Structure 1
């Protein structure tokens, strides 16, 4: 389990500590020097790094030729980097890795949440988290490369409590083409009805 002080100091503030823990437990590692290398869907066995320098050397060796995940969050090492030499030691620093990883995961969560119409339903949110973790592991969600994709922005539902602002209808409309293009999925069928915002009913004096 992640240290609460580490989460408080290093994790992206847009994510609740419980979400950070769930994310790292499901998709990350308890070893800051953990490295996973995959090529063509196959796992490549690499030596266990005994130091940050060793870990960085292994990451640089495989980056660009294979999918390399590193550290507590199993951050995708090659994202936004053109040359292996540009990879920085902060990848294998526990705090920096958690900071980078949770910031990237928050973006993935926003992408998935937008696909769901930014639903504020507490029944839907666990499914959003599950899909976001799966997208983190695979690097894709509904045909979109989540690490390279643009951040849709906005606050995450169920992070600060239910939202019912004026931009919500616009956000749902903006996400509609994605919904139409997506392949029907048994898990998703029936969730569209939850997009209707009922929070304003009876709320006016």
Structure 2
């Protein structure tokens, strides 16, 4: 059983955000999926996470998935490249003991978009949107902390991208874990 390292990172001020060196190229945009369906959310999750062993949401029923993506303070921002989805970031606000935290619950690119210089710009936009989440959700407290976790099963550029955007490590933990195959049912094996 492999040893998995999980790294938790945070920003405590929007001033800590370091912009990406590369801007989105022409033909790319990031927009909020304002009325996201569980089906579209699951499509994004599986398209990004199948290579990285994302399985935590796969057992959810449609109703449970819908509850997760429609919870107040939850937003999904989708990267489109040449008109097609190419990645996403899912935010969940109203966290922490005083409701002032936003978690980047999921973040990543579709396999064909990795290495094209899009991850920094997508993460930058996700962090900007996290810091002003309370402005779009009346009743949420102003954001005082944005956080995310990644692990050694995630994409090799993930941790570096988080650090490059100004997120700082606040905890690491190691555990023996049997990674689940998140690609089952996504594409037939040949």
Higher relative contact order (CA 8 A, sep 6+): 2
Q: Select the structure that is richer in helix.
A: 1
TM-score > 0.5 by shorter chain: no
Asked which structure has the greater CA Rg, the reply is 1
Q: Select the structure that is richer in strand.
A: 2
TM-score (norm 1): 0.25
TM-score (norm 2): 0.26
